[in-house]
Every structure is written in C-alpha cells, then in structure tokens.
Amino acid sequence: MKIEIWSDVMCPFCYIGKNNFEQALNKLPFKDEVEVEWKSFQLDPTLDPNKTQDTIQYFREKKGVAEPQAAQMLGQVTQMGKGAGIDFNFEKTLITNTFSAHKLLHLAKKHNKSNEMEEALFIAHFIDGKNVGDIEVLVDLAESLGIDKEEARQAVTTDQLDYEVNQDIQEARNNGISGVPFFVLNGKYAVSGAQPAEVFENALQQTYKETVSPFKDLSGENGASCDADGCSI
C-alpha cells in the first residue's frame, strides 16, 4: 500500500499531521507493508531565499494579520502541537523560501531517507530555529543522516533536482491540491489536513482492506462455482 504526502517544511500542520499519521500507522499490523512517499509543495514560493522573517513579522507583512491575532493563532497551533508530541518554538522560527529544502528531500529519497529528512527539517525549522533555506544548514542536515556533504551541496546549489520538485508541485496542482498536508492513499482516497490519529487509522484500515480484497461482493448467497479443489453447487 502506498501513501503519498504533500507537505511544506514551514507548515506546522504538516508536522502535526506527520506525527498523527505515524502514531496511527504504528498501531496497525500491516505497517511494514506501507510505502510512504513525501511530495513537495510550497505554500509561498514568492519568498526570497536569501532573506528570513520571524513568524509574527511574516503574518503581519505578508498576510495582513495584526500581531495580537497572529500571536493568538500561534498559541492555538502550539497547543495542537503538544497534543501531537511537538513543542513548537515559534519565537525562533525563521520564515524563508523552502525550495532548496525540497531539493534536499528529493536527494534523501534517492538514499531511502526521505522520512528521516522530513523529520530533520521540521525539527530544524520549528524546534531549533534554523534557517532551512541556508545551504550550510541543509548540508549539515544531510551529513547528520549519513549523506555525503558534497553530494548534498551539489543537490541544493544546482538545478539537478529542480525538475523533481516542480513535478510534485505540478502534480498537486493537477489534482486540485491547494493546501497541505494532503495524504493520498493508494491513489484512491484522500485525507486532508492535520487530522487526529483516529482518522488516519480508520482511513488506513479501510484502504488496506480494499487492497487485500479489492472487490466488494454483491452476490448475496454463494453461487455454484469451481476452484482449485473442485466444484460446488
């Protein structure tokens, strides 16, 4: 069973959704049969990759949200985060363009470490207050996961992975995905937003059940049939 997740590094609900999804998945007996693929999405591609803003400043200048209202919103998200086991540190969070971070995620995917890199980027951005648009920060994160520093530097400073990132973004657009997190289960079902773990658990169980037995039997009583052991009436 395959789960595709569209996400952006600077989206707090993506981090909450990731934790709730993983909490649900870890309860299920078929968790080792589930393949997770992280997909790139940019909430604000207009941001300058060479500049950073604090979160309150970003809400005020970019979204037109007054500082008290922005602080209240962040307080609500902080409480949501605690419920998912996350201690957000919005006082330190730096808002910047995330395209290079997405390139690093695609490099990590080639090393089968995309989930670990997604977590590392969330921690760097939301907990440690690091600039996830900074090349050295990204290279260090890659090295912490055992990825060669020079390979990582090449990936985030050239256009060799631009196509992969843009393909994810275009695919989201083609499928009408306008917000993240967005989970696609086996290309058939969707779960949008940072849903509670129970919602993910139910969705995963239903999708897996249909994967194992993809046909809904409308026969009613069993009809005459034959199988490998013979025929029955």
Buried b / exposed e over 196-205, threshold 16 CB at 10 Å, is ebebbbebbe
Positive or negative, the CA dihedral 23, 138, 184, 14 is positive
Q: Greatest CA separation found in the chain?
A: 75
Tens digit of each residue's pLDDT (9 = 90 or more) over 36-67: 999 999 999 999 999 999 999 999 988 899 99
Strands 2-7 and 35-40: parallel
pTM of the model: 0.90
Stretch (H or E) spanning 164: helix 162-174
Tens digit of each residue's pLDDT (9 = 90 or more) over 206-232: 999 988 765 565 555 656 666 556 656
pLDDT recorded at residue 216:
60
- pLDDT, mean over the chain: 93
Q: Compute the average pLDDT of residues 73-83.
A: 96
- Residue 117 to residue 163: CA distance in whole angstroms: 19
Tens digit of each residue's pLDDT (9 = 90 or more) over 119-151: 999 999 999 999 999 999 999 999 999 999 999
